Amino acid sequence: MTDVLHSVREGRLLRLTLNRPDKRNALDAALCRALLTALDGAAGDPAVGAILLTANGKAFCAGMDLAEIDQAANAEEINVLHEQLFTIGARLAKPLIAGVHSAALGGGVGLAANCHIVVAGPDATFGLTEIRLGLWPFLVFRAVSGALGERRTLELSLTGRIFGSAEAQALGLAHEVARDAAGRALEIAREIAGFSPAAVQSGMAFVQRVRGLGWQESGVIAREVRNRVFAGPDFREGIRAFREKRSPRWPSIGEGDA
């Protein structure tokens, strides 16, 4: 745990909470480093089945810390950290679920777009507002475009307009709108953390592996991965548990990982 990021393990769930409420959880170097360290650590930890991202305070994330970015000496370090953070969703082998409340602007939209599942509160607002500062959302553009499509992301980048949770869901940035976004995201994360690690990790790896490939090549990989999962002990246990009407006990969860 750090001052700027709270990290708590609950069984196979890792809960990460942005904790710069006085700065509206703006992404300074310390918070970016803490997030990357926690996410990279979770990726390599077989005892972590899912990751939940929420925030303390009145805003989810106001984007980059303007006070810090104004310091020329830090510019390259910030560029590197942001590049790593705003591409994490494409590399992360564990499901990342976010509960977003109030404002998610600029880099806050980038964080949401890098999460694999996003639950937004009714009060949540989003916007690529960099253009208002004479900037462009260069480093978050790829992730947001992957979620919304290039044409819509270009419109949001050009206008800098702020939109609500209903539109975020309609556009595909948020998957669900719930009154208690953090609570609902926690439910989803706990459920996913309880699924077969072998199945989840195989699926996540498959999605990353076929990204950008053609239809036929992707199909070859799909059959290869599915055959491997078919032959694995988790699938056999899942079938047994279904037939016996009980909860499965996944063999891929090692002792002490449950």
Q: What residues are annotated to the active site?
A: 130
Torsion of CA 164, 170, 174, 176, to 10 degrees: 100
By residue count, the chain amounts to: 258
Furthest CA-CA distance within the chain: 64
The rounded distance, in Å, linking the Cα atoms of 150 and 128 is 13
Of 225, 201, 238, 206, nearest to 95 by C-alpha is 201
Cβ distance 229 to 205 under 8 Å?
A: no
Cβ distance 31 to 62 under 8 Å?
A: no
